[in-house]
Chain A
């Protein structure tokens, strides 16, 4: 898509994306360049069925915590596209991710350009202060290396990622994504090789690393569902035992909400298949 047609189609998105103060190297031109790919994946390849996004506020900070899977964090990109292509309230998404292992300067720049931000509490606080929507995938690198037999079984969440949101009283929305763990079936994770190459994981899939470069990042055309749940309320007892304990409890609750929703989605899918 040329920049001009992008500017016309995403007028509201551009307005809201450029309104915030903090940008962290966000690059609208790069977003315009990858938009056709995201649109193809979202609309034709995975046919993402979206629900629950009406709960998300049109303005103000929000934290979305979701499950992830696959060699590339596709759920992050799909969420990004879902938010930018929304008719009623398009919003820019910042993804807090572990970028320490990305040694290549250009790749780093590109990731920052589409909205990836190094996951530090300081960055999270600045994004919340600017009223941005922030996404985290608290399973971490384990999500990329989860074997196919353990699909849609969450790895323990990193509760420290929830601390800034709890400090600032930002609403936390659990996001359940069905499809990502089947789009790229992981047969094995070569931990030794991953350590040697300084990568967070080295998954072996039907495509990776066998096929030549762009095709090894391919995925299967499974149907995706993304359901944004209502924000997790504060723990029932209001007397605070300290922020750490509240964050631990809240992270566990959000993890459970996502897992329970995935269980429900799977049950529903199997039931409708007969």
Chain B
């Protein structure tokens, strides 16, 4: 059953930052009062955290395996399969890192330029910690010891149709280049659940092109229902499986070796796909997941 305590907390009057500090003292003390030139604002994060925690704990009931594989300190790159029209999978990982990790830390996801131009959403994405996806930005973040999140399928992965669910598209190999150049370990992540929350029945390409959007999906709720209702996802049970960190151990100048970089990117992509296949095979049903 869905419980509403997290959602009630989101609607409670009072300073959200103070309530956040009470709930997550170590995350708060780690990032409070810190200037961030990429625009992360703890107050915005704190304001929205209860809503996403409601999604994580109550609505999708995310089961995260192997969270200890992400170290509490130091640079690392997490990379996984992308899903779900509205990319909630990143937010779910951020929630796992914020409230279920022994030493909580933020995830800096590298996002496509397109998001930053959106009115309203552009600022919100910056303030919750996302960074424009360029190699320099990622290198700066890693040199500061941050945890960088990448979805190497890109926007194509988000716009998958329902029958293409859990069929991983070819990874863009930039994240491997980044890992070799900076020496940061790679942590592959397989997410099951995200591709079913918004069943994408049809992609209206003409309308998408006209509105300058990457895709324009028709789902059972979108665009039929009135405004907030059309974005309500299905209560699918999620699983996030975090693999062991991979230390590539190549000298930085190998980052230019295209063949090597592509081979490693493929191997990681295939590992994730294989893990997804296994998780789907073991899943009892979409809504009850692996236990019931």
Contact = CB atoms under 8 A, between A and B. Distances in A.
B161 interface: yes
Contact of A260 (B263, B264, B269): B269
A256 B266 contact: yes
Contacts of A233: 263
A260 B273 contact: yes
B161 A260 contact: no
Contacts of A156: 274, 278
Contact of B167 (A235, A236, A252, A263): A263
Interface string A256-268: 1101100110110
Name the prevailing secondary structure of the B interface residues.
helix
B277 to A, nearest CB: 5
B167 A256 contact: no
B38 to A, nearest CB: 33
A154 interface: yes
Given A236-B264, A253-B267, A270-B161, A260 B170 contact: yes
Interface string B255-292: 00001100110110111011001101100000000000
A256 B280 CA distance: 16
Interface string A213-233: 000000000000000000001
B164 interface: yes
Range of interface residues on B (Cβ < 8 Å)? 20 to 34
A153 B280 contact: yes
Contacts of A132: none
B67 interface: no
A143 B167 CA distance: 18
B19 interface: no
A260 B278 contact: no
B47 interface: no
B173 to A, nearest CB: 12
A253 B277 contact: no
Contacts of A255: 270, 274
A256 B267 contact: yes
A252 B270 contact: yes
A68 to B, nearest CB: 16
A150 interface: yes
B280 A150 contact: yes
Given A253-B270, A256-B270, A263 B264 contact: no
Given A263-B168, A270-B163, A270-B164, A256 B263 contact: no
A260 B163 CA distance: 15
Contacts of B271: 252, 256
Scoring A154, A236, A257 by chain B CB atoms within 10 A of each residue's CB, the highest score goes to A236
Nearest to B270: A256
B89 to A, nearest CB: 19
A260 B280 contact: no
Nearest to A252: B270
Given A150-B280, A233-B263, A256 B164 contact: no
B274 A252 contact: yes
Contacts of A257: 266, 270
Given A253-B270, A263-B169, A267-B167, A236 B263 contact: yes
B127 to A, nearest CB: 35
Contacts of B281: 150, 153, 155
B162 to A, nearest CB: 10
B170 A266 contact: no
B291 to A, nearest CB: 20
B176 to A, nearest CB: 10
Interface in B123-144: none
Interface string B143-180: 00000000000000000010110011110000000000
A252 B134 CA distance: 31
B277 A252 contact: no
A154 B278 CA distance: 9
Contacts of A253: 266-267, 270
B267 A252 contact: yes
Contacts of B263: 233, 235-236
Given A263-B168, A267-B164, A267-B167, A236 B270 contact: no
A257 B164 CA distance: 17
B165 to A, nearest CB: 11
Contacts of A259: 270, 273-274, 277
A264 B259 CA distance: 21
Interface string A146-164: 0000100111100000000
Interface in A129-171: 150, 153-156
16 contacts: A150-B280, A153-B280, A235-B263, A236-B259, A252-B267, A252-B271, A255-B270, A256-B266, A256-B270, A256-B273, A256-B274, A260-B270, A263-B169, A264-B170, A267-B167, A270-B163
Interface of A: 150, 153-156, 233, 235-236, 249, 252-253, 255-257, 259-260, 263-264, 266-267, 270
Per CB-CB distance, the 7 closest pairs between chain A and chain B, nearest first, are A256-B270, A263-B167, A236-B263, A153-B277, A236-B260, A259-B273, A267-B164
Given A255-B274, A266-B167, 13 more contacts: A150-B280, A154-B274, A233-B263, A236-B260, A236-B263, A253-B266, A255-B270, A256-B267, A256-B269, A257-B266, A264-B170, A267-B164, A270-B163
